[in-house]
Amino acid sequence: MKVKAWYVYLLLAGSVAGIGLWRARSVRGASKTSSAGWNRQAAAGYLDSREVWWQDWRVAQMDHGTICISCHTVVPYAMARPALRHELSETGMAAPEKIMMDNVEKRVSHWSEMVPFYSDAANGPGKTAEARATEAVLNAVMLASYDARQGHLRPITRTAFDAAWALQEETGDKAGAWQWQDFHLGPWEAGESGYQGAAMLMLELGNAPDGYASEPGVREHVERLEEYLRREYAAQPLMNQLYILWASPKVPGLLTQAEQKTLIEALQRLQQADGGWRLSSIDQKPRWDHSPEPQESDGMATALAVLAMEESGTSRHDATLKRGLEWLEQHQENNGDWRATSLNKKRNPKSDVGRFMSDAATAYAVLALEDAQSPTSN
């Protein structure tokens, strides 16, 4: 069955996406044909091949023939892959992208039947609730991201939002937020990760079409979320604050001018000599295996910093932003990705698990570089 599924991928990806997955490795060594100095086709090939791997990985398999919605690979892929469509002259979703979206929609439409990825029985007290709430938020993020590009919020996306709102905390220190997966693994499954997830949902609410965020019955949830993000902003690591910077133009009052200025100044101070940023400077936690933290710039920190600055309205002539963009243009690997390593431990960067951070880095780099080419960019 696995062999048959892989064969179908090979056929579909060539015809639907215009980037046969059998070519994912052949882009290694390809010239950067884009006038902007980076290779879109190589980036698409990397992202597609990683999504295929994830969909086929035994550990990612879930109930009802569905697949885990991973924070590091699937969610960034969903947010970034459509950004490549126009420039690659694609007429529809890439094959793995379509399978991914069908998977998310299946889990949303049959939400009451779906089993959380983690459970109290297998993973410890509270993990069932954490997994349920985390997935509800991420499902809404992914579907809303797609609908924003189409200009209309579909019923399935409204259903996803309903599931998220039903699990939003109403009282206590986390009022406005959600219980979040916490295995002390940054940046997506740690104590501060719930804030990042909430900020991502706010980002998509700011982009949501049809005036969804202002609808009766929705607005109270949005206001509760805004209050939480404002209340907890100062206590967040810089990485989380960058998501607020990213979302702030679409959500008036989410970030004050003084806070934005302070955040941009922090990015200026932390920018490295080569124009990039490093993860350990924007999420300052020691690795739990006590291995040395990489000191070189990486794709994740740089792409997130650049993207947040662009989206916040920073001028494209800003020296800090220009140097960050130049770093991204110059540091795409031959196989299409931008490299980043784990915040938690030393991993083999060429292993499948060791590429998780590079998956997110590549998706964010695509968004940042496409944003820079947009005619509406400052």
Among 16, 163, 179, smallest CA distance to 93 is for: 16
How much is the pLDDT for 36?
Answer: 58
Q: Is residue 172 part of a domain?
A: yes
Q: Would you state the pLDDT for residue 376?
A: 63
Quick check: is 67 in a domain? no
Residue 125 lies inside a defined structural domain of this protein: yes
Identity of the residue numbered 141: V
User: Distance of alpha carbon 182 from its chain centroid, rounded?
Assistant: 18
Single-letter amino acid, residue 23: R
Selection from 327, 319, 306 nearest residue 372 by Cα: 306
* CB-based contact 356:350 (threshold 8 Å): no
Q: State how many domains the chain has.
A: 1
Which residue, among 300, 250, 259, 258, has the nearest Cα to 279 in the 3D structure?
A: 300
Measured in whole angstroms, how far is the alpha carbon of residue 238 from the centre of its chain?
16
Residue owning tokens 């938020």: 137
Q: Are 338 and 299 in contact (CB under 8 A)?
A: yes
Neighbours of 107 (CB within 10 A): 24
pLDDT in tens, 92-135: 999 999 999 999 999 999 999 999 999 999 999 999 999 999 99
Let me know if residue 136 belongs to a domain.
yes
Tokens 């140097």 belong to which residue?
323
Q: Does residue 224 fall inside a structural domain?
A: yes
* Domain-embedded: residue 185: yes
Which token pair is 32? 């950067």
Residue 223 lies in a domain: yes
What does the pLDDT look like over 295-306, one tens digit per residue?
999 999 999 999
Q: Which domain covers residue 188, as residue numbers?
A: 116-236
Distances in Å between the Cα of 222 and the Cα atoms of 213, 225, 274 are 7, 5, 40
CA distances from 98 to 51, 58, 79, 127 (A): 11, 20, 13, 29
Q: What's the pLDDT score for residue 13? A: 37
Low-confidence ranges of the chain (pLDDT < 70): 1-36, 375-378
Helix 127-150 vs helix 155-166: crossing angle, to nearest 10? 150
- Residue 156 falls inside a structural domain: yes
Is the CA virtual torsion 182, 296, 366, 102 positive or negative? Answer: negative
Q: What is the token pair recorded at 18? A: 């215009």
